[in-house]
Amino acid sequence: MLAPNGRVSFALAGADGASLATSGPVGVSAADLGGLLPGGTDATHGGGEDRPFIKSANVTITGIVAVRIDGSFVQVDMTLPATVDVVKLEGGRQITLPDGTLPVGEYDKIVLTIGMAQLVLFNDTKITIDPPGSGWAAVSPLCPPLKIENASTATVSLALEVRNSFIWRNDRFEFAPRFKVPLGCARVPPKTT
């Protein structure tokens, strides 16, 4: 006999803060990107006030795992991979991911595995950020815990700190996905798998 399941709906949103499109990733300056920007080094607007620095930042979510209160891991049964342009999350907007199912129970963390990250600059330069091993693992605590009940649907909202997840270090872009921590929760450091 199969264990009872409930549905879970995921919404990925941008956390409040500076814009990746107009401010760029953490640690990047116009001088750093001079070779990537034609006709100058105005990284904020790419030489024109109406053009953003980053056109898109696509990340591919390859897996979602829920962590039970007892610490055991359960793979969310859902259709993945899903590619999301996280620049579109800025300003508090959100994107709905495919629905999934989980066994009945209580969960206090969600772990997203991201297998690809690619930036597209305003001049259409594509920069792929290679993942470590099988990808990045971003952990988001859930406060209060997520309760999955038989034949019901629960919603999980995850707020990605978009700008703080992309970093300019050692003359290259790095990606370290971070989620805004709900009030009352402790921050869980990002991990690589």
CA distance 15 to 18: 9
In 54-182, at which residue ranges do the beta strands (DSSP E only) sit?
Answer: 54-68, 73-75, 77-78, 82-85, 94-96, 100-103, 105-121, 126-129, 136-148, 153-160, 166-169, 172-175
Instruction: Name the domain count of the chain.
Output: 1
Return all residues near 86 (Cβ < 8 A) that are at least 6 apart: 12, 14, 20, 57, 58, 59, 160, 162, 165
DSSP 178: -
DSSP 105: E
Range of the structural domain that residue 129 is part of: 5-192
- Residue 46 confidence class, pLDDT cut points 50, 70, 90: very low
Q: pTM for the full model?
A: 0.81
Return all residues near 109 (Cβ < 8 A) that are at least 6 apart: 66, 67, 139, 140, 141, 142, 188
Instruction: Say which range, 64-73, 129-138, 144-153, 175-184, has the weakest mean pLDDT.
Output: 175-184
CA distances from 21 to 29, 101, 192 (A): 13, 34, 25
How confident is the model over 159-193, as pLDDT tens digits? 999 888 998 888 888 999 999 887 667 655 545 44
How confident is the model over 72-127, as pLDDT tens digits? 999 999 999 999 999 998 877 899 999 999 999 999 999 999 999 999 988 888 99
What percent of the chain is predicted at pLDDT more than 90? Answer: 55
